[in-house]
């Protein structure tokens, strides 16, 4: 009962007490609001200074950024304590809304500090790994692992808040990981076994940076060239190296193959003379190799091997030309030999042509003997003056062949039934005209 009575008395006095303390409450509330406003201004000023800190620039580097970010974190923690005190007073004096902007400002400041730190955390992670890769010796580089790691870093950077992407620290980090990722495939290309000293010199000329590939050469030495700036040029240098390597290998195969390819020799009737023949598979190889060499001539990187390529083009053309003309000469020579050498009728009726053929016969047999002694196709067909000699003998054979044809034609015109007789039979008839029993039926 006593407590109830006291409580009722207090309730009656409360309006009077409120009225009496109102001036003091208003004065204190005004002072607190002013303090909050003043502190808000200090926070605004701090935020402006914060935005001007070096750690927003990528050139700052994570080593310098971390101490500054730690100081900012401490300052924000102190600000939060002050905000909590002001918020308690604002709630006490019944104006909590007066704290809204200040609370939001400090919260934004804290969020920005965290975002910047996230950037530098990612940057330090990337840089530590990049530095480890940079110290790798050229012979030990694993570009597959580097590319996989660089791709994960690109994803990590991309996952950072969009707000921070406006800042230079983010832009620099983004460019750094992307440039590294761009460089890795170029490094892989440059490790091609096709790269020769001349190609490295082309790379140095392109980048204007000199270096020496030795046992101490590291990835960092190559990345110093800023390969990402020369992506197209590096691609062309490596493409040249690979195509030149193919040409080099093809030329080596040509040397090896044609050093072993020899003509086949077939005995001509029962004489000591052997005619020349190229094996079918060798002739197919000749055609394929001519196409191969023509492809190398058409290659825009031919210059390095121009001399051996043109030399092989000439050699193979000579083989093809000699094989063709010699085949024709041998066929005609073998046919006419039995007529001009073994037919007395032809010798009697065509003495000039017979004498001409005798000269041809000597030269053809001499060529065949030399080829049998040499055997190798390329060596046989590329002897100086051979093609000119064969062309001359072919023309001489044509003259003999025409003289014989004209002679045969004159006999057939005189005796039309001879049109149904072969040249060999007709010569047999003519040479044994006075001895009918010797004519073979």
pLDDT tens per residue across all 441 residues of the chain: 676 776 677 666 656 555 554 555 566 667 778 888 888 999 999 999 999 999 999 999 999 999 999 999 999 999 999 989 888 887 777 777 888 888 999 999 999 999 999 999 999 999 999 999 999 999 999 999 999 999 999 999 999 999 999 999 999 999 999 999 999 999 999 999 999 999 999 999 999 999 998 999 999 999 999 999 999 999 999 999 999 999 999 999 999 999 999 999 999 988 999 999 999 999 999 999 999 999 999 999 999 999 999 999 999 999 999 999 999 999 999 989 888 888 788 888 899 999 999 999 999 999 999 999 999 999 999 999 999 999 999 999 999 989 988 888 887 787 676 665 666 566 556 545 444 444 444
Q: Which one of 86, 104, 136 terminates a domain?
A: 136
Task: Look at residue 197 and tell me if it is in a domain.
Answer: no
Q: Which one of 136, 164, 188 terminates a domain?
A: 136
pLDDT of residue 93: 76
312 closest CA partner among 350, 286, 340, 337: 286
400 closest CA partner among 439, 441, 375, 364: 364
Task: Look at residue 121 and tell me if it is in a domain.
Answer: yes
Task: Look at residue 187 and tell me if it is in a domain.
Answer: no
pLDDT of residue 26: 66
Report the Cα–Cα distance between both ends of the chain, in Å, rounded.
168
Q: Which one of 107, 136, 165 terminates a domain?
A: 136
Task: Look at residue 348 and tell me if it is in a domain.
Answer: yes
Task: Look at residue 168 and tell me if it is in a domain.
Answer: no
Task: Look at residue 161 and tell me if it is in a domain.
Answer: no
Which run of H or of E encompasses 6?
helix 2-51
Task: Look at residue 160 and tell me if it is in a domain.
Answer: no
Which CATH number goes with the domain that contains 352?
1.20.140.100
pLDDT of residue 96: 79
Number of domains making up the chain: 2
User: Whole-angstrom Cα distance, residue 121 to residue 125?
Assistant: 6
Task: Look at residue 191 and tell me if it is in a domain.
Answer: no
Give the distance, in angstroms, between the CA of residue 413 and the centroid of all CA atoms in the same chain.
73
**Domain span at 107:** 2-136
- Stated pTM of the model: 0.72
pLDDT of residue 390: 97
pLDDT of residue 218: 95
């Amino acid at each position: 009962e006593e407590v109830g009575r006291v409580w009722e008395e207090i309730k009656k006095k409360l309006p009077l007490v409120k009225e009496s303390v109102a001036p003091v409450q208003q004065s204190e509330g005004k002072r607190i609001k002013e303090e909050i406003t003043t502190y808000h201004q200090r926070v605004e000023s701090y935020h402006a200074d914060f935005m001007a800190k070096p750690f927003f620039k990528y050139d700052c580097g994570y080593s310098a950024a971390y101490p500054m970010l730690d100081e900012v974190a401490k300052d924000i923690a102190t600000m939060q304590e002050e905000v909590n005190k002001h918020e308690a007073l604002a709630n006490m004096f019944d104006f909590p809304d007066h704290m809204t902007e200040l609370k939001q400002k400090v919260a934004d400041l804290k969020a920005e500090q965290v975002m910047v730190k996230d950037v530098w955390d990612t940057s330090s992670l990337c840089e530590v790994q990049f530095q480890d890769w940079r110290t790798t010796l050229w012979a030990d580089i694993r570009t597959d692992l580097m590319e996989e790691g660089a791709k994960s870093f690109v994803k990590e950077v991309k996952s950072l808040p969009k707000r921070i992407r406006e800042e230079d620290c983010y832009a620099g980090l983004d460019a750094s990981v992307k440039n590294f990722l761009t460089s890795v495939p170029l490094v892989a290309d440059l490790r091609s076994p096709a790269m020769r000293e001349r190609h490295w010199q082309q790379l140095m000329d392109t980048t204007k940076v000199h270096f020496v590939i030795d046992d101490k050469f590291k990835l960092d030495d190559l990345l110093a060239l800023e390969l990402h700036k020369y992506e197209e040029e590096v691609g062309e240098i490596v493409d040249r190296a690979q195509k030149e390597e193919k040409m080099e290998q093809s030329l080596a195969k040509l040397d090896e193959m044609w050093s072993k390819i020899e003509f086949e020799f077939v005995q001509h009737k029962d004489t000591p003379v052997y005619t020349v023949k190229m094996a079918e598979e060798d002739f197919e190889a000749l055609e394929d190799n001519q196409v191969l060499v023509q492809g190398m001539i058409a290659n825009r990187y031919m210059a390095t091997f121009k001399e051996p390529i043109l030399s092989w083009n000439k050699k193979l053309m000579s083989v093809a030309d000699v094989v063709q003309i010699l085949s024709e000469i041998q066929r005609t020579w073998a046919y006419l030999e039995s007529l001009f050498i073994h037919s007395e009728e032809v010798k009697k009726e065509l003495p000039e042509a017979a004498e001409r053929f005798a000269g041809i016969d000597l030269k053809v047999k001499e060529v065949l003997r030399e080829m049998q002694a040499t055997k190798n196709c390329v060596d046989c067909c590329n002897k100086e003056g051979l093609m000119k000699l064969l062309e001359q003998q072919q023309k001489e054979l044509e003259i003999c062949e025409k003289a014989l044809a004209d002679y045969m034609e004159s006999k057939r015109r005189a005796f039309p039934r001879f049109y149904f007789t072969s040249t060999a039979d007709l010569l047999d008839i003519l040479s044994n005209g006075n001895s009918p029993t010797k004519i073979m039926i």
